[in-house]
Amino acid sequence: MAKSLSFRTACAAAGFSLAMLGSASAAEQIMFVSQGGAYQKAQTIAILDPSAKKLGITINQDSVPDAWPIMRSQVASGKPTWDVVDVATNFCLRGGEQGIVEKLDFSKIPNAAAMPAEYRSDWSVAYEFYSSVLGYNLKKFPDAASAPKTWADFWDVKKFPGRRSLRNHPLATLEAALMADGVAPDKLYPLDVERAFKKLEEIKPNITVWWTSGAQSAQLLNDGEVDMVMAWNGRISALAKEGAKVTYTYNQGILQSTSLCVLKGAPNLPTAIKFLNEAVDPVHQANLPLHIDYGPANPKAYDTKVISEARVKELPSAPENAKVQALMSYAWWTSPAGEAAEKRWLQFMQK
Amino acid sequence: MTLLAAPAVLVIVALVVIPVGWLAAQSIYDNGFTLEHYRRIFTEEVYWRSFALTFRIALMVTFLTLLLGYPVAYAAAHAKRPWNVLILACVMLPFWTSVLVRAYAWLVLLQRTGVANQLLERFGLITEPLAMVHNELGTVIATVHILLPFMVLPLYSTMQKIPRELMLAGASLGGGPLYSFLRIFLPLSLPGVVAGLTLVFVLTLGFYITPELLGGGRTVMISMVVSRNVELYAQWGAASAVGVVLLACVLMIFAAVGRIIPLDKMLGQK
């Protein structure tokens, strides 16, 4: 889907530039890169097309599931072709530290400047939110009162028997382990890595599968391979919409984001900055959840009345839901301690 | 003669030698000469664990494919016309299906709610579903299935060339079927056995899809460490160093095997 999308955009761009050959100055354009699939399609409708129209620019698109190594090699080559990248926030921060992304001047991005400080950094601005939540099978736990509601419940194999799955990645998993061990959602950082891995050792024999892709986490829950899982909210809500007997709770969810950042030496830097401001415009942002189960990154989107009240309740970044979750600190994950924890993960998996 | 090989050599150089060489160069160059990536491989435990697991799985897979493949190749080499074609077709057919599709098919068959567990439960052979997937076992089962043709085909081509008269001669000299097989057929089929073993072993070393999909996250083979290193270090060098070490292992295996049976004989002897 991603491929056909970028192909179509490329054709449109080619047609466009042909049409512009006669005129004196080519219209401004940027190359925008996201992760493809239904997600990129949703943003195209909600954010990219309206922004392009409003700014009078052409937004060319590309998609790649794992942008980080390519960001690095593009900048290393000295001639990057990408301008704006939508990527998990930790990569924007790491890119900033390693001189791969441009430092942002927020005076030129007023929409972002109005967002909460923890939603942006010197190099990035949050673009959309999703959450790592506790999901479970309703056939196994039909009664809401006796269903698992916290990570402590997830860890309690006596009170909540059943098969479990966690993500094969330390991000959000270490946070869940610490909450299971009694750390409050707003007191997580800096993570006590030692304590988190100790708690994970405890649940390890009861983890049937350590999932690697979002699709896999959904399949495991849907097929009854596992009874409870830590998964991304959008994956479980999609299953529920298709009629699967599954649900999830935002309680103690780990609120995560992707952010926009601009590659160092981007070919269309001024246009890219203009686009950044437009992308986090409250109305565009409010349009996103009308097309996909992700929450807007600009809280002002919730004041636009674009999103219905019933819909607001389903979104990870809605104030009511955000309140009961932990906000991931990407700054910690890109710190030396965070990177060490990430490296330690494989060692934990192999034993 | 040498001129005829030129296009093939050109393709190999352009598509294999240059990229591999470039990757190898990356592993020792990062703003100057560095052995950092190799230091990591030789000092950090995670690499050794994955190398050990990869070699263990490769040995298991190789042994199992030989066990399953030898009788099949034997039957195909001895069957008469429509039957030998049918046997080979059965071996080749899955070969034409994508590895990804076959890995998912095994998932559907072997998982907790899968066909195999349901049948076993219905016949009362088990009371609790068996954990046949999301672990090393699932990885081995699927890898054996995927690599079986690489064992059967070299075996078949060797066995076909063994003159039938030799077995008859053995029998006429008083050798029983088992004795003749062990003293005549088996030794003559050995080049095929070695070729099959080598092919399957080397291919398993680089397997990625089956451990990724069927290993449950615990079965971290070396190819998965390569991809993890790209994400973790965002330096091709960190990943390619692992690839270079694996390649060195493979070349050493080929060299060792080549001492017993020359490569040209192994891959297409007359």
**In the block, residue with structure tokens 């190398």:** B51
Secondary structure of B2-65 as H, E, C letters: CCCCHHHHHHHHHHHHHHHHHHHHHHHECCCECCHHHHHHHHCHHHHHHHHHHHHHHHHHHHHH
pLDDT digits (tens, 9 = 90+) for A71-94: 988 998 899 999 999 999 999 999
pLDDT at A18 over 60: no
So what's the pLDDT on residue B267? 58
> Measured between CB atoms, which of A66, A94, A225 is closest to B111?
A225
Domains detected in chain A: 2-129+257-326 (3.40.190.10), 131-256+328-350 (3.40.190.10)
Average pLDDT, integer, range A20-24: 41
The DSSP result for chain B, as a single string, is -TTTTHHHHHHHIIIIIHHHHHHHHHHHBSSSB--HHHHHHHH-HHHHHHHHHHHHHHHHHHHHHHHHHHHHHHHHHHS-HHHHHHHHHHHHGGGGS-HHHHHHHHHHHHSTTSHHHHHHHHTTS-SS----SSSHHHHHHHHHHHHHHHHHHHHHHHHHTS-HHHHHHHHHTT--HHHHIIIIIHHHHHHHHHHHHHHHHHHHHT--HHHHHHSTTT---HHHHHHHHHHHH--HHHHHHHHHHHHHHHHHHHHHHHHHS-HHHHHH--
pLDDT at A11 over 60: no
The verdict on B113 touching A (C-beta cutoff 8 Å) is: yes
Average pLDDT, integer, range B171-199: 90
Contacts of A225 in chain B (CB under 8 A): 111-113, 134
Contacts of B45 in chain A (CB under 8 A): 347
Q: Minimal Cα–Cα distance from B96 to chain A, Å? A: 25
> Measured between CB atoms, which of A66, A210, A225 is closest to B112?
A225
In the stretch 169-198 of chain A, residues with CB closer than 8 A to chain B read: none
List the one residue out of A30, A55, A71 whose CA is nearest residue A277: A55
Name the residue type at position A168: N
Closest residue in B to A338 (Cα–Cα): B232
So what's the pLDDT on residue B102? 93
pLDDT band per the 50, 70, 90 thresholds, residue A50: very high
Mean per-residue pLDDT of chain A: 92
In the stretch 201-260 of chain A, residues with CB closer than 8 A to chain B read: 208-212, 223-225
So what's the pLDDT on residue B263? 66
Q: Count of A–B CB contacts within 8 Å?
A: 53
So what's the pLDDT on residue B266? 60
So what's the pLDDT on residue A24? 36
So what's the pLDDT on residue B235? 77
Q: Minimal Cα–Cα distance from A350 to chain B, Å? A: 6
Domain B55-221 has CATH 3.30.1360.30: no
A349–B234 C-beta distance less than 8 A: no
Average pLDDT, integer, range B55-68: 97
The verdict on B218 touching A (C-beta cutoff 8 Å) is: yes
List the one residue out of A121, A61, A53, A72 whose CA is nearest residue A260: A121
Can you give the residue ranges of every domain in chain B?
Answer: 55-221
The verdict on B128 touching A (C-beta cutoff 8 Å) is: no
Mean per-residue pLDDT of chain B: 90
pLDDT digits (tens, 9 = 90+) for B186-215: 999 998 999 999 999 999 999 999 999 999
pLDDT at A3 over 50: no
B112–A224 C-beta distance less than 8 A: yes
Average pLDDT, integer, range A177-200: 97
Q: Minimal Cα–Cα distance from A219 to chain B, Å? A: 11
Q: Helix or strand or coil: residue A230?
A: strand
So what's the pLDDT on residue A7? 46
The rounded distance, in Å, linking the Cα atoms of B77 and A249 is 61
> Measured between CB atoms, which of A225, A342, A346 is closest to B46?
A346
pLDDT digits (tens, 9 = 90+) for A95-137: 999 999 999 999 999 999 999 999 999 999 999 999 999 999 9
B46–A350 C-beta distance less than 8 A: yes
So what's the pLDDT on residue A257? 97
**Prediction pTM value:** 0.87
So what's the pLDDT on residue B264? 67
pLDDT digits (tens, 9 = 90+) for A193-229: 999 999 999 999 999 999 998 989 999 999 999 999 9
Closest residue in B to A67 (Cα–Cα): B231
In the stretch 114-173 of chain A, residues with CB closer than 8 A to chain B read: 163, 168
Closest residue in A to B52 (Cα–Cα): A350
Contacts of A72 in chain B (CB under 8 A): 234-235
Nearest-10 crossing angle of helices B186-205, B45-78: 140
pLDDT digits (tens, 9 = 90+) for A222-257: 999 999 999 999 999 999 999 999 999 999 999 999
pLDDT band per the 50, 70, 90 thresholds, residue B262: confident
So what's the pLDDT on residue A15? 46
Q: Which of A282-286, B126-130, B235-239, B263-267 has the lowest mean pLDDT?
A: B263-267
Name the percent of chain B lying above pLDDT 70. 97
So what's the pLDDT on residue B168? 87
pLDDT at B35 over 80: yes
Closest residue in B to A205 (Cα–Cα): B218
So what's the pLDDT on residue B215? 93
pLDDT band per the 50, 70, 90 thresholds, residue B94: confident
So what's the pLDDT on residue A329? 97
Q: Which of A115-124, B53-62, B63-72, B86-95 has the lowest mean pLDDT?
A: B86-95
B231–A68 C-beta distance less than 8 A: yes
